[in-house]
Structure 1
Amino acid sequence: MEARPLRPESAKGLVACITEQMERLVGPAQYVLHDRRPADVHPDIHLDIHLDIHVVPANPKRPYTTLYTTGLSQKRMKVPPCGCGGDGYAELMITLPESWPIEPDTRGEHLTWPVAWLRDLALYPHRAGTWLGWGHTLPNGDPPAPLAENTALSGVLLLPPPSFERPQLTHPNGAPIDLLALIPLHRAELDLKLEEGIDALVSRLALYNMTEVVDVDRLDVTRMP
């Protein structure tokens, strides 16, 4: 049976539920970036998914800028019958340095790509009839191109945020919502995952203490001794 999106009143309850839980984890949002593109330029308008991106500034609880989505879990993803996709609900986040300017009027791909990736990935499972989960990697095109002009990072890895003890939220219906962090990767790191598997990549990242905080200048761990 096809998963149906929540009704508007239920969707509002979902946003409030997720926001309350995320505030306990990362602090309150300073503002929310609403997806209000008109239907003629928005190929996913038929999905009836209300997607927001919440921007949480650095605070005593968490000295980084945190962006997270609400709306991906408005509709259950189409997970495989093997159960590896969990309950089929997820939300996304990305952690940026405190100095990274993300405001409603921010312009420039080198600053706004985190917002674009959150928005596109949150819509992707419902647009493509698939799912997102732990260990998935997504290149920026084929062949992978840099995410922006100021970095060689060329794709992302989805992982539970390493800084959270329990990277899971609860849906209003009681089901768990997987919270997945976007970890930008170099092209060779994407290749490492394809060739040797997710465990090899994660082990390599952990060896050099890679965190979830985006560093556009970080070194490629496959080139480190």
Structure 2
Amino acid sequence: MELLKAFENRFGAHRVKSIQNPLHNEQELMILFLELDVPVTVIMTASLSDYKMPVLEKWVGREFNEIFFCLPAYWDFEDYTNPNCSWIYSWLYKLERFVRDKNTWFGPGHTIPTGNPEVPISNLMKQEYFIFLDPILLQKELSPVIISGKTIQFLSIVPIFGDELDFKMGKGTQKFIRRFIQRNQDEKLDDYRSSILNSRLRFF
């Protein structure tokens, strides 16, 4: 796999691993073990970039993507029986299947609900939506990779609350991202994160 080799060259072979999705064996994933100030683990799709997304004209050049979750050190990503940890595998599968089956595309700022009606992601992760964002914490580490003339981008999958979605829809993606970063947030999952909108700053 060319992307796996590119990551091995970027990070070292000991920091890159290929696995089958433990909940959906037909999906191949990659794991990146990254040493930042605080270590993180990245769980990423491995072949979504084989699919050329039918992007809008303004997004030409971003047709090829892989999507990922960035996990904190406390996250036991090998506990496949714990729904508070294993939901990442279900959603990586659902999101890849959705974009392929619907012949659609994901880009920065796109959002998706957890269901209809929306439900919390897990008992600990109370958010009910996801937003796709360009890497923030991993901006350097997950800069685009060029393989055989194809530029592959990396989109983080970030859980957000309903009031954060309202703010993003009302004020725009860039204002949401600025507020998100101002509140010291990034793509790393956090079971204990509260909304970036406190009572004084709520959109409505």
TM range (shorter): 0.7 to 0.9
* One-letter amino acid matched to 1:177: I
CA contact (8 A) 1:71 1:122 kept: no
Higher strand share: 2
Shift of 1:37: 5.0
Q: Equivalent residue for 1:128?
A: 102
Q: Equivalent residue for 2:66?
A: 91
For structure 2, the residue ranges without an aligned partner over 5 or more in a row are: none
* One-letter amino acid matched to 1:102: F
How has the CA–CA distance of structure 1 residues 133 and 193 changed in structure 2, closer, same or farther, with 3 Å as cutoff?
A: same
CA contact (8 A) 2:7 2:16 kept: no
Q: Equivalent residue for 1:29?
A: 16
For structure 1, the residue ranges without an aligned partner over 5 or more in a row are: 1-15, 39-49
CA contact (8 A) 2:28 2:47 kept: yes
Identity %: 23
Deviations 1:104-138, CA, capped at 9 Å, x for gaps: x6212211111211221122211001101111111
Query: Given the two structures, how large is their TM-score scaled by the length of structure 2?
Result: 0.84
* One-letter amino acid matched to 1:209: N
CA contact (8 A) 2:18 2:28 kept: no
Give the number of aligned pairs. 196
Q: Equivalent residue for 1:75?
A: 51
Aligned counterparts of 1:182 and 1:136: Cα–Cα separation in 2: 10
Matching of residues 142-221 of structure 1 within 5 Å: 142-162=116-136, 163-165=138-140, 167-172=143-148, 174-221=149-196
Deviations 1:72-120, CA, capped at 9 Å, x for gaps: 111212223x2425341100111111121112x6212211111211221
Query: Aligned match of 2:42 in 40, 60, 66?
Result: 66
Aligned counterparts of 1:62 and 1:25: Cα–Cα separation in 2: 16
Q: Equivalent residue for 1:9?
A: none
How has the CA–CA distance of structure 1 residues 183 and 87 changed in structure 2, closer, same or farther, with 3 Å as cutoff?
A: closer
How has the CA–CA distance of structure 1 residues 36 and 85 changed in structure 2, closer, same or farther, with 3 Å as cutoff?
A: farther
What SS does the aligned partner of 1:54 have? strand
Aligned counterparts of 2:199 and 2:88: Cα–Cα separation in 1: 26
Q: Equivalent residue for 1:13?
A: none
What SS does the aligned partner of 2:55 have? coil
Shift of 1:156: 1.4
Aligned counterparts of 2:30 and 2:156: Cα–Cα separation in 1: 14
Aligned counterparts of 2:162 and 2:77: Cα–Cα separation in 1: 26
Q: Equivalent residue for 2:112?
A: 138
- The alignment status of 1:100 with 2:85, answered yes or no, reads no
CA contact (8 A) 1:72 1:123 kept: no
Aligned counterparts of 2:115 and 2:60: Cα–Cα separation in 1: 24
Aligned counterparts of 1:25 and 1:34: Cα–Cα separation in 2: 22
Aligned counterparts of 1:29 and 1:146: Cα–Cα separation in 2: 31
CA contact (8 A) 1:31 1:56 kept: no
* One-letter amino acid matched to 2:139: F
Query: Given the two structures, how large is their TM-score scaled by the length of structure 1?
Result: 0.77
Aligned counterparts of 2:170 and 2:119: Cα–Cα separation in 1: 19
* One-letter amino acid matched to 2:110: H
Report the aligned-residue RMSD: 2.5
